[in-house]
């Protein structure tokens, strides 16, 4: 239990809530909203009522995770996906501690990893979440009760460097205390479907390229593949506006809207692949070994991706020859679904003054992005 880990006390302002503080927050948060009403927008009302009743008898975070959070996620996945599968290599699920994944959805990415861990008999991981997403006190309490720690995003460049070093120190201390951690492999979700690990993350997590520090984290790359992205229209619109206007300014509440759509939207099939524990492999003569490590992590992530029919169809629309994916040819039903989805995206995004062809191309580029990265990694 974290309560006994004195090495983590200096991080209490950013760490998940524990002990008496957690018990008080669990009770006050339960009374702060009509949770049956809120949850029944996502899952069946009778299931929501049962979860809230369980919550009333929950006083610890582990029980909250097992009795409320996991059943909620199971019900949510049943309502919004056509099935979730996962696979693993070697000792990934047994000995892995720091799970680094590609990033599509701040709520679901770590939640899916945790469902796999819980079903494997492990405790849920702690989750790194940006301070920019904590818009109100109840949201802050909720995420910190859900084993989230806060990654501070604000400040000057010097302050941001301090925040990143402190986050790395917290992760190192948490893993040393025997707890698992989930972290995105880059700041911010991938909009264009091209997942690239931030070399700076490799550098800070390894304390400047120390192989022993990195290896002690027992890093596991996790490839998360969603068949459909519920936020694809929002992402296509943002990408096109950035290209046309040179910048994009988020509107108030846009992050919350995106998080909501990611939760309630249909995702089709979902697959997770846990690669084996990833040891430090950088060339000792390399002046910037974090770049090579980021590239190697990307290769693990990309080759672990699941190939979906809509990716092959989008690649074909773009004129790309990606036949080496070895995926089955799309069925007529899958072709029809792809065509309908593209038409819907065009209808939404054309309102901002873009042509049909512009929207189609940008959407296909985004959908085919993971497949293109996978093909490149396989050829490497």
For 51-75, the pLDDT digits (tens) are 999 999 998 888 898 899 889 988 9
Decide: 231 and 193 in contact? Cβ < 8 Å: no
For residue 107, give the nearest of 60, 146, 152 by alpha carbon.
146
Instruction: Provide CB contacts within 8 A for 42, sequence distance 6+.
Output: 48, 75, 76, 79, 263, 264
- Domains present along the chain, CATH in parentheses: 2-230+265-306 (3.40.1130)
Decide: 290 and 207 in contact? Cβ < 8 Å: no
Q: What are the CA-CA distances from residue 246 to residues 3, 95, 243, 364, 365 (Å)?
A: 48, 45, 6, 21, 19
Cβ burial of 324 (10 Å; 0-12, 13-18, 19+) is exposed
Q: How far is CA 19 from the centre of its chain?
A: 27
For 95-121, the pLDDT digits (tens) are 999 999 998 887 788 889 988 998 898
Range of lowest pLDDT (233-237, 259-263, 291-295, 341-345):
259-263
pLDDT at 2: 33
CA distance from start to end of the chain: 43
For 310-356, the pLDDT digits (tens) are 999 999 999 987 755 556 788 999 999 999 999 999 999 999 999 99
CA angle 328, 92, 117 (to 5 degrees): 90
Q: What is the mean pLDDT of residues 178-194?
A: 84
pTM (two decimals): 0.88
């Amino acid at each position: 239990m974290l309560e006994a880990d004195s090495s983590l006390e200096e991080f209490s302002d950013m760490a998940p809530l524990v002990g008496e503080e957690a018990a008080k927050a669990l009770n006050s948060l339960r009374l702060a909203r009509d949770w049956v009403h809120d949850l029944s927008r996502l899952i069946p009302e009778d299931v929501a009522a049962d979860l809230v009743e369980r919550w009333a008898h929950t006083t610890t975070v582990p029980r909250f995770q097992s009795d409320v959070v996991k059943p909620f996620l199971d019900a949510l996945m049943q309502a919004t996906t056509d099935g979730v599968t996962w696979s693993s290599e070697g000792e990934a699920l047994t000995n892995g501690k720091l799970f680094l994944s590609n990033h599509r959805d701040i709520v679901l990415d770590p939640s899916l990893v945790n469902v796999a861990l819980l079903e494997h008999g492990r405790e849920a991981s702690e989750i790194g979440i940006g301070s920019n997403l904590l818009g109100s006190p109840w949201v802050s309490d909720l995420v910190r009760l859900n084993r989230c720690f806060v990654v501070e995003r604000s400040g000057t460049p010097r302050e941001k460097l301090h925040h990143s070093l402190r986050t790395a120190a917290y992760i190192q201390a948490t893993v040393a205390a025997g707890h698992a951690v989930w972290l995105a492999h880059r700041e911010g979700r991938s909009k264009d479907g091209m997942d690239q690990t931030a070399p700076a993350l490799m550098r800070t997590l390894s304390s400047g390229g120390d192989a022993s520090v990195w290896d002690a984290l027992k890093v596991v790359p996790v490839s998360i593949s969603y068949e459909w992205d519920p936020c694809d229209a929002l992402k296509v619109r943002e990408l096109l506006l950035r290209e046309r206007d040179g910048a994009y300014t988020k509107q108030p509440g846009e992050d919350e809207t995106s998080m909501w759509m990611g939760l309630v939207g249909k995702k089709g099939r979902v697959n997770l692949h846990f690669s084996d524990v990833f040891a430090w492999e950088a060339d000792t003569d390399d002046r910037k070994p974090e770049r090579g490590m980021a590239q190697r992590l990307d290769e693990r992530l990309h080759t672990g991706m699941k190939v979906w029919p809509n990716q092959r169809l989008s690649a074909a629309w773009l004129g790309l020859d990606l036949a080496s994916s070895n995926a089955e040819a799309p069925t007529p039903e899958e072709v029809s679904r792809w065509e309908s989805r593209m038409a819907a995206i065009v209808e939404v995004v054309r309102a901002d003054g873009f042509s049909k062809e512009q929207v189609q191309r940008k959407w296909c580029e985004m959908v085919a992005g993971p497949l293109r990265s996978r093909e490149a990694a396989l050829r490497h």
